[in-house]
Structure 1
């Protein structure tokens, strides 16, 4: 009986398909207004829970108060299937609430709504939390537009009053403009960060990271957050590529789909106790899905290559020249990070040799997307006219650091083991840090100047 109820409950997926794929269709609106599918699931739940309670008695509810009791209850196949229908019903209720609220108020665009509903389908509370945060942000933004604050007078490119605080607010405002242009990509990035936080929370509650034979919550959390930060970095770079409207939609849409698959594989498989990439205990289907995971990662590399090609094809002698120059180094570092990822795929893990780890090289390469453009941005904000030598210095230092870390890894040595490679890596990264500190100090001095009317030199 309970297996039949479980199978019949699967038909509720049609409601999710309507909500996610056809949100503006009038049939979808009617389905959402009627709440037919949550009612359908609730009836199935009632048909299952009543016979169970008649069989066990209401005393079974006392087990809900302890972890051991809940574990004991869910060990019963019949009760586990009924509990699953319970989850399906309330996930759909949450999905319907998100759909109705957003269709009435349009706090987020429809593509972002679909991403959030997919997240609710896969990881219920994560989808709701993401929508709640975006809804609150959208409402605060609308309130700010209804009651705009007075702007402070400016002189040239630097505020005449307010100093660094005003500059930071301007930078935040510019970042929000970029986020609004790439809302689906931003929502996907935030979903990844939320999933990472969720994995970290689960690890803290469980008191360990291992799930089953192969599932590692720490790896999942690191993957989710790192990929989310990577996507947010791309959001900031997309305007520099100057995609056509159709080209931009195709690029961001394909990247969003690839990333959602990666998030689903990483988190669902880890929750099942299976390595999402190189499982040895999973079924043949799990191994095939792991192969598709590799294809999704390859698709992300191709996506980045397209973005990089569009950006690097631009000349560096215009107003965006220093930033474009810094991105040439950042792109080289990022392809190094992708190469490290391929290395891990070939090695079927992050270990290299006896004690080496490929992960530091992988992370360092990707962080070039934030570390190198940051220096160009600070120098531009400061109005520096001769920024190129410092951008070259920072870029070369970062790439030398990546090369030294790769050397340490190829030798199979631990990341912290003393060696010539590590000495070079530390010296190179300190050189980058010195340039970054100089750029920050120059910007500070420019912000503090009461009347900045001309560019200043780095040594100013």
Structure 2
């Protein structure tokens, strides 16, 4: 019983919750973003990205890719949220609807030569579409916040606790990224000061849904001390969180993060700490895989 509790399982006969379990439609929605991005990439191979007066098809490519990755990440972690069926279904479809609207506006408006958010050349219809895009973004922010609250409300024991720990840190990083997004909405621009670019903070913050969850997935399969596993997740995740806070400060000061000054150098050092813990986690995971493969081969002989 004690071993079962430590592993996060209530019953050894009870199936472990899996990534993406029951989230087919979120995966399909994320695939739409990748398909759009692939189509745009082909277009960019033959055509210039700028479409006058305001359109930039490269923005549509990067946006659709980013939303596709984000929705895929949500599909991966939503099964662990312990939402009731009705609440989980509502969350799922709100994510789907907001993502589909975002794909449509970002792609169509850029190909029409208009800024999808803050158009100065479009009609009243385009301005309304941009306002609704802002509302759509705020809905995504709210959904991510509700998901964060739900994961922090989970009480031990939980299924796959190391993965849950990584998810919690990742969602905190997403919260910081969303603050950057709200900042852009209020500014009606992505730039601050002479060279600050909020899209860097926004993008890096969201990538925590991959960078902080994967180490937990590695470590739950590694054969090392449980205390060390948790410490690695804490150290790596805290280093990541501090790095994006430092990036936010640098951006808020109106400076680019791509310069050799105090804050960017500190951010790089912190990211190297995160990278070191992730590489170690991956190495321990590979050791376990190699050992399992060797034992299977040995038995077959």
Structure-2 change in CA distance of 1:422 and 1:182 (3 Å): same
Once residues 270 and 124 of structure 2 are traced to their aligned partners in structure 1, the CA distance between those partners, rounded to angstroms, is: 46
Structure 1: runs of 5+ lacking an equivalent: 1-173, 454-460
Once residues 441 and 289 of structure 1 are traced to their aligned partners in structure 2, the CA distance between those partners, rounded to angstroms, is: 48
What's the offset of the Cα at 1:402? 0.3
2:34 is aligned to: 193
Once residues 305 and 320 of structure 1 are traced to their aligned partners in structure 2, the CA distance between those partners, rounded to angstroms, is: 22
Larger-gyration structure (1/2): 1
- Any conservation in 1 of the 2:223–2:284 contact (CA below 8 Å)? no
- Any conservation in 2 of the 1:316–1:322 contact (CA below 8 Å)? no
Task: Give the stretch that moved more between structures: 256-265 or 444-453.
Answer: 444-453
The alignment of Structure 1 onto Structure 2 pairs a total of residues equal to 278
2:9 is aligned to: none
2:221 is aligned to: 381
Alpha carbon RMSD of aligned pairs, Å? 2.0
- Any conservation in 1 of the 2:144–2:174 contact (CA below 8 Å)? no
2:262 is aligned to: 420
TM-score by length of 2: 0.87
Structure with more helix by fraction:
1
2:211 is aligned to: 371
Once residues 172 and 185 of structure 2 are traced to their aligned partners in structure 1, the CA distance between those partners, rounded to angstroms, is: 20
- Any conservation in 2 of the 1:312–1:324 contact (CA below 8 Å)? no
1:66-104 Cα distance to aligned partner (Å, 9 max, x none): xxxxxxxxxxxxxxxxxxxxxxxxxxxxxxxxxxxxxxx
- Any conservation in 1 of the 2:20–2:78 contact (CA below 8 Å)? no
What's the offset of the Cα at 1:256? 0.8
TM-score by length of 1: 0.58
1:391 is aligned to: 233
1:282-328 Cα distance to aligned partner (Å, 9 max, x none): 01111111111111111111111222222221125544222222222
2:145 is aligned to: 305
Once residues 232 and 190 of structure 2 are traced to their aligned partners in structure 1, the CA distance between those partners, rounded to angstroms, is: 34
1:141-186 Cα distance to aligned partner (Å, 9 max, x none): xxxxxxxxxxxxxxxxxxxxxxxxxxxxxxxxx99x7546112111
What's the offset of the Cα at 1:226? 0.2
Once residues 162 and 155 of structure 2 are traced to their aligned partners in structure 1, the CA distance between those partners, rounded to angstroms, is: 10
1:29-80 Cα distance to aligned partner (Å, 9 max, x none): xxxxxxxxxxxxxxxxxxxxxxxxxxxxxxxxxxxxxxxxxxxxxxxxxxxx
Once residues 339 and 287 of structure 1 are traced to their aligned partners in structure 2, the CA distance between those partners, rounded to angstroms, is: 23
Once residues 267 and 261 of structure 1 are traced to their aligned partners in structure 2, the CA distance between those partners, rounded to angstroms, is: 10
Structure 2: runs of 5+ lacking an equivalent: 1-15, 296-301
Structure-2 change in CA distance of 1:316 and 1:372 (3 Å): farther
